[in-house]
Structure 1
Amino acid sequence: MSTRDAEAGSRTLVRGLRILRHFEGGVEGISQAEMSTLLDIPLPTIGRLCRALCDEGFLEREENGRRLRLGPTIRQLSRVSLPSSDDMEQRWMQELQREFSEDINMAVLDGPDVLYVASRRGGQTLNVYTPIGTRARAHSVAAGKALLAELDESELIDALGPGPYEQATLKTIGTWPELTEQLAAIRTEGVARTWEEYSDGVASVARALPPPTHGRQAAIAVTMPTARATPERIEEVVRRISELW
């Protein structure tokens, strides 16, 4: 294969991946014309790429044949790689998204990290969307702290070690005494909060879901820019997330 052919193949692959990434955040269906405009790729090229993606099962056409959605291959890969969430958890996420128009995430503990297994993009122009499959240090995010608060001391040591802990920002907790003090407060209130501990300009409120019969316990978080995270709004989120489960 010539260098020119290899470069053309790479461009085609990147364009195909850009099409798939457009479906992040729960986008249900989109036409090829809309995709061409949004991605700034010529419509004939979009047509060829979408046919190839449909042939391999990465995309499929909706019943009317005019719009495309993620296909069975993507759904199968998701089931293999990530824990699933049940209908009730999805309804809670949808309700929080509808009420606050902020980014809603669900995560599980995975060693010292949290793994995001579900995500809904908020309706605001400025958001802090976290794609499914993202990992973060559990002690630095609200969902992680909510889940760590469910563990006893020996389980905490097994998951995180005695510290010091990696600091993503100047506000990230870094020591065992800081961690245990915060987790005690979370157990009392039932809700975890973070303010610029994982990323500057980001605030989050999270609560652990009831322990499941099978599988790992999860937590749902409402995440927003600090510019919108007024004390009144944070308390409103705390109240609502405490009522749902």
Structure 2
Amino acid sequence: MKIVVIGGSGLIGRKVVNDLREGGHEAVPASPSSGVDTVTGAGLAEALEGASVVVDVSNSPSFEDAVALDFFRTSTGNLLAAEAEAGVGHHVALSVVGTERLSESGYFRAKAAQEELIKGSSIQYSIVRATQFFEFVKSIAEAGSDGDVIRVPTAFIQPIAAGDIADAVAAVAVGPPVNGVVEVAGPERFRLDDLVRRGLSAWRDPREVVPDPHARYFGIELVEDTLVPVGEARIAETRFAEWLARPAT
């Protein structure tokens, strides 16, 4: 089965392509670097020729509100139109657990707009919502950094390894469309400040982590369950300590 992976050269995309190929599928990575641009539409028709499934793990080049909204609306609209023309039967998109609860952020309003376009399309679909990646714990710490102190919210988080996200996306891609949302999360639930503290300890970063319920998470004030699944979710296997112990790649 031919499966086109939009954003196939990125962190998740590369892993999805590898998973699909290991499963015996024709996985085609597509991104501007390979001549496929979903914003302009360049190369889309050629890339989707003969494809049964399209997986979209692409991301906005900026978290700025207007840029993100324009990217997701334009890219997703062009992609869905090209899929309809090519006869693609299944659209799979990667999104974020809690998107509907993060509307204070323009970026997550843009993700919500992307989801609505997918749901309103004629293409059968599956939306895979993932919790935050282990790979972004350092970014969370830096966002709250103030000299030798890092102020972090105390809300819950259930982070997941990028490889586990890719596995989940690939599994959904080769299955039937769910025409709904599949949520995936890591096996452990932490307080955000505890997660950051554990990461910094493993990286021998001496900065103090200060729990602050009102600290902002990339500009958003969180409540307890904003970032975690509140219903049924697929639970990945990799634990944070196991991931921390892996050699850097």
**Structure with the higher fraction of residues in helix conformation:** 1
Q: Which structure has the higher relative contact order (CA within 8 Å, separation 6+)? A: 2
TM-score (norm 2): 0.26
TM-score, structure 1 normalization: 0.26
